[in-house]
Amino acid sequence: MNEKPNKKSALTENEGIPSRSIGTESFSTTSLEKIVKSRKVQPSAAELISGILAHDTVALSRAITLVESTNVSHLAKANEIINGCLPYANKSIRIGITGVPGVGKSTFIESFGKYLTSLGKKVAVLAIDPSSTISHGSILGDKTRMEELVKDGNAYIRPSASGETLGGVARKTRETIILCEAAGFNTIIIETVGVGQSETAVHSMVDFFLLLKISGAGDELQGIKRGIMEMADAVVINKADGDNINKAKLAKTEFNRALHLFPAKKSGWIPTSATCSAITKDGIDSVWETISNYFELVKANHYFEEKRKEQNQYWMMETINEQLKKNFYHHEDIIKLLETNKKAVANDEISPFAAAQILLKKYFR
């Protein structure tokens, strides 16, 4: 079969734009020097605090980067910023949102966030992305999944890698909440990695914990189990649209039965279940109504303040534990002795427990 003359293949590479030499209208060495200079100049802690209090999201992002940094030299500056912002924090409501992968957390948060900004709320979304245990990298794609919310002037989205330790990311998220509150965000939403240990950490830093579910995935029976269900203040069955509406309604009934099996909460709140569709926006307003009713109750019976005080004490202890662990593994003598004991344990020359005691005694001396 003969090919038509001059017909280009779909894989044909187009000619690129010719490179221009330095000094032409498309390239300014002066502009380049300004960019390089501005990147090298790091704002002081006082400048970042001032920017945050002025609701500057660039200053906020730079401060969060310092908080998340593992560089020891950044720690003092990060602590100075947090302490400077602390008097202006604690003026928001904090909502944790979790659910298994595929439940539609990002889509729900975008619809929910847009609804809140339409009510005049300033919303900060802190999304925790799982880090690979092999490459140690993270996708951090939440901004691309929330393309409408990211363009909203009253919203701020910050994805963060979970890192290697749950305690580490939880501490960083806790400190990031303080910075976001100081920047004027009155509604903080924390999206978790997925159902697992991270939920316990997030539950200990939020005021309201929302569990997203989908129907037809066997989750109705899982609802009878304790754990994640026991922590939830509300269960929302997402994707209640199209042919799935009836299944979602059935799942809602099952979850309501499961929720009544758990003991009463200290807050006096009775957890509820509901259906919604993040795509069609149906039920989003009802979710907010449920959350508003919760806050009305816990602020009236003073549980809100009580829980915040308990959380602050909990995070003081967690920070001490995290710092002790970090100091232990970075101690010069321990680094040398650790490898020797790991080999001895691997070769069954010593028990893991005895080896641990040797290392701990060496450290505390």
DSSP secondary structure letters along 136-158: ------HHHHTTTGGG-TTEEEE
Of the candidates 323, 322, 326, which has an alpha carbon nearest to the alpha carbon of residue 334?
326
Residue 238 CB neighbour total at 10 angstroms: 25
Query: What's residue 262's pLDDT?
Result: 82
Q: Mapping DSSP to helix (H, G, I), strand (E, B) and coil, where does residue 28 land?
A: coil
Query: What's residue 129's pLDDT?
Result: 66
| pTM for the whole structure | 0.80
Residue 209 CB neighbour total at 10 angstroms: 22
Q: What's the half-sphere exposure (Cβ side, CA atoms, 13 Å) at 33?
A: 4
**Contact present, 351 and 345 (Cβ < 8 Å):** yes
Q: What's the half-sphere exposure (Cβ side, CA atoms, 13 Å) at 347?
A: 7
Strand order of the sheet with strand 155-161?
Answer: 155-161, 123-129, 187-191, 93-98, 208-213, 234-237, 272-275
What string of pLDDT tens digits covers the 365 residues of the chain? 455 455 555 555 556 555 544 444 455 677 777 666 656 578 999 999 999 999 999 999 999 999 988 787 888 999 999 999 999 999 999 999 988 878 889 899 999 999 999 999 999 999 876 544 343 333 444 556 688 899 999 999 998 765 555 544 567 888 999 999 999 999 999 988 665 556 777 888 999 999 999 886 655 444 444 567 888 999 999 999 988 899 999 889 888 888 888 888 999 999 999 999 999 999 999 999 999 999 999 999 999 999 999 999 998 998 898 889 889 998 999 998 999 999 999 999 999 999 999 999 999 98
Integer Cα distance of 352 and 343 in angstroms? 11
Residues 19, 23, 25: CA angle, nearest 5 degrees: 75
Of the candidates 234, 282, 284, which has an alpha carbon nearest to the alpha carbon of residue 256?
234
Query: What's residue 16's pLDDT?
Result: 57
Residues 60-81 as b/e (b if ≥16 CB within 10 A, e otherwise) read bebbbebbbeeeeeeeebbebb
Query: What's residue 127's pLDDT?
Result: 86
Q: Which residues contact 313 (CB under 8 A, 6 or more apart)?
A: none
Q: Contacts from 44-51 at CB under 8 Å and sequence distance 24+?
A: 45/77, 45/80, 45/81, 45/84, 46/84, 48/81, 49/81, 49/84, 49/85
Q: Are strands 93-98 and 208-213 parallel, antiparallel or unpaired?
A: parallel
Query: What's residue 128's pLDDT?
Result: 77
Of the candidates 228, 181, 193, which has an alpha carbon nearest to the alpha carbon of residue 209?
228
Integer Cα distance of 181 and 95 in angstroms? 13
Q: How far is CA 285 from the centre of its chain?
A: 23
Residue 102, both tokens? 């595929």
Query: What's residue 353's pLDDT?
Result: 96
Residues 279, 284, 290: CA angle, nearest 5 degrees: 155
Q: Are strands 155-161 and 123-129 parallel, antiparallel or unpaired?
A: parallel
Integer Cα distance of 156 and 139 in angstroms? 18
